[in-house]
Amino acid sequence: MGCLSYLPPSRRAREAQGSRAVNSSMPKRKLESSGSSASDQPTCARLPPGASPPRMSLAAPAHGAGTVAIDFGTAGTGFAYSFSGSDDIESKEPGGQEARKTLTNLLLDDNGNFKSFGFRARRDYFENQSGAFFANYKMVLNESSAGGPQASVRLSSPPSLAAARSFPTSCHR
Amino acid sequence: MKALNGTSWPLLDIVTKTLDYVKTEALKEAGRSLPYGLQAEDVQWVLTVPAIWKDGAKGFMRKAAHRAGLIKEEGSRRLVLALEPESACVACDVHKLAKPGDPFMVLDCGGGTVDITMNTCAPSPELPRALEPERLVPRASQAAQREPFAPR
């Protein structure tokens, strides 16, 4: 339930009216690690009434020195970063200096240790023909067995349409 | 997950090693200009996921990110899973292209898949900027994903 804290105060007030429906429809929605530290826990549900929740934006991340975003794609993978207080976003190829993505290809050695990733992994594999080479593994991820029972988030009852509308989908896990 | 040479490896290990590598490279690159570099715990992480993914797959990514050392607890708020079409809307300043209430389609023609989503631009006149992802509330979200080129 970390989602409410991402809403701007004005909208949060407006949607507080519908919050009873939200709470009753998602009572059991909890993250798995119940033993984590207080500072790192979603706290929005316990914010005092007048407190303004933290805002999430690219320029002012909720935590730390900056934001790093990873685009893990089926064919290509890239990342971008931005420092707190700056609007500049740098995007880079993992393992290179180009502003492009590299291939989502992974090469492990015969013992399962990391060997190389991206264009380098493809080159290494096709030059030496050794190790375990993987491509297109993102496609397997959404198949039902991938997450396993403990990875899925269970709701005791399906969320109402109002609840679904009042949360930015990016906050859903 | 089968490798090209026929050996099988756990998918979680493969994704974890991928995220670990990208994490290391990103911290190295972003920390070059900082005197003491950049550590994973200094960073707000964002990982994009397809809009059509089920919670199980999102939980899987969170688990892999935790194992790769991006976050210290699986439920950490230092990792946000952002939907790919919403991230695309943020990246292209969709509020400059669409008025509040306008429906629009995001066509993401990637190297491996084509993803199509329908969205409606949420009305929020009280806010000065439209960049916050919460301003885009997908209403009738339909998603299609197929694999036109890639052999499995």
Per-residue model confidence as pLDDT tens digits over B47-85: 999 988 888 999 999 999 999 999 999 999 999 999 998
- Chain B residues with CB under 8 Å of A53 CB are none
Task: Look at residue B129 and tell me whether its pLDDT is greater than 70.
Answer: no
Q: Is A55 on the interface with B (CB under 8 A)?
A: yes
Alpha carbon distance B27, B38 (integer Å): 6
Range list of H helices, chain B: 11-30, 55-67, 84-91, 94-97
- Please report which confidence band the pLDDT of residue B95 belongs to, taking 50, 70 and 90 as the band edges: confident
The overall pTM is greater than 0.80: no
Determine the pLDDT at residue B116.
87
Nearest CA in chain B to A4: B134
- Chain A residues with CB under 8 Å of B9 CB are 108, 112, 132, 134
Predicted ipTM beyond 0.85: no
- Kindly list the averaged pLDDT for each block of 10 residues, start to end, along chain A of length 173: 36 41 38 39 41 42 78 95 88 87 94 95 93 92 57 40 41 37
Nearest residue to B56 (alpha-carbon basis) of A140, A141, A12, A25: A141
Burial tier of A100 (Cβ tally within 10 Å: 0-12, 13-18, 19+): exposed
Asked whether the beta carbons of residue A142 and residue B54 sit closer than 8 angstroms, the reply is yes
Phi-psi label, residue B13: left if phi above 0, alpha if psi -120 to 50, beta otherwise: alpha
Ordered by start, the domain boundaries in chain B are: 11-84, 96-146
Question: Which range is least confidently modeled, A106-120, B13-27, B88-102?
Answer: B88-102
- Chain A residues with CB under 8 Å of B78 CB are 40, 62-64
Asked whether the beta carbons of residue A173 and residue B55 sit closer than 8 angstroms, the reply is yes
Asked whether the beta carbons of residue B60 and residue A173 sit closer than 8 angstroms, the reply is no
- Chain A residues with CB under 8 Å of B55 CB are 147, 152-153, 172-173
Q: Enumerate residues 103 to 162 of chain A having a beta carbon within 8 A of any beta carbon in chain B.
A: 104, 106, 108, 112, 114, 117, 125, 131-142, 144, 146-148, 151-153
Alpha carbon distance B79, B65 (integer Å): 8
Determine the pLDDT at residue B123.
66
